Structure 1
Amino acid sequence: MKIKHMAIFSLKYDLDAPETSKFLEDGKEILSSIPTVENFEVVYQISPKTDFNFGFSMEFTDKAAYEAYNNHPMHIHFVKERWEKEVERFQEIDFQAYT
């Protein structure tokens, strides 16, 4: 069953800082190139009900595809070298269709 994975986050930089744009652009380029990732989007948070600023949203065909993403060397490297250093706080949410 398809999985929708969302990581919502705030960066350590100001919203209009060049580092913010660089992080979002690099995240899209790197993570969307992992073979099991589908429908990758960088999203900007607009609701006053939360104070996270951005999100990465993507889909996987099934749990095996999601695990392949989590264990892919490019994902591991991005998390270690960029995410852990530049993200101030985050929350991950994973959804499957309710049937």
Structure 2
Amino acid sequence: MVIFNLKHAPGSEEAEKFLADGKAILTSIPTVTNFGVFSQVSAKNDYDYGFSMDFASQADYDFYNEHPSHVGFVKERWELEVESFLEIDFQIKE
């Protein structure tokens, strides 16, 4: 899960394109499941958006993290358009 703010105004055409492109690109990676795009509704933090996804194993996460589509999205979009973010990686406690 990652929560973030864009350099674009919330709700703007540019912001909506970033969110749609992120979903399309990241869900094309075979190990990504349960992908979600979120808009913040709480006044308890300063982040506007979120992406979440699940992985069946650490190997699946590693595959995603190193996949050319993920690496390209980070370099070509994320680093240029994201103003601030917080990444949260959870593992289910058994």
With the length of structure 1 as denominator, give the TM-score of the two structures: 0.92
Equivalence for 2:42: 47
Whether 1:87 and 2:85 are equivalent positions in the alignment is no
Once residues 40 and 4 of structure 2 are traced to their aligned partners in structure 1, the CA distance between those partners, rounded to angstroms, is 9
Secondary structure in structure 1 of the residue aligned to 2:51: strand
Structure 1 residue aligned with 2:18:
23
CA drift of 1:98 comes to 2.1
User: What is the alpha-carbon distance in structure 2 between the residues aligned to residue 70 and residue 24 of structure 1?
Assistant: 18
Residue 50 (structure 1) shift: 0.4
1:66 is displaced (CA, Å) by: 0.2
- In the other structure, the counterpart of 2:91 is 96
User: Is 2:66 the counterpart of 1:71?
Assistant: yes
Which structure 1 segments of 5+ residues have no match?
1-5
- Structure 2: where are the runs of 5+ without partners? none
Of Structure 1 and Structure 2, the greater strand share is in: 1
| Larger RCO (alpha carbons 8 Å, 6+ apart) | 1
CA RMSD, aligned part only?
0.7
Per-residue deviation, 1:34: 0.3
What percent of counterpart residues are identical?
Answer: 57
Q: What TM-score, normalized by structure 2, do the two folds share?
A: 0.97
Deviates more, 1:43-52 or 1:75-84: 43-52
Per-residue CA deviations over 1:16-54 (Å, capped at 9, x if unaligned) read: 211000000000000011000000010111111101000
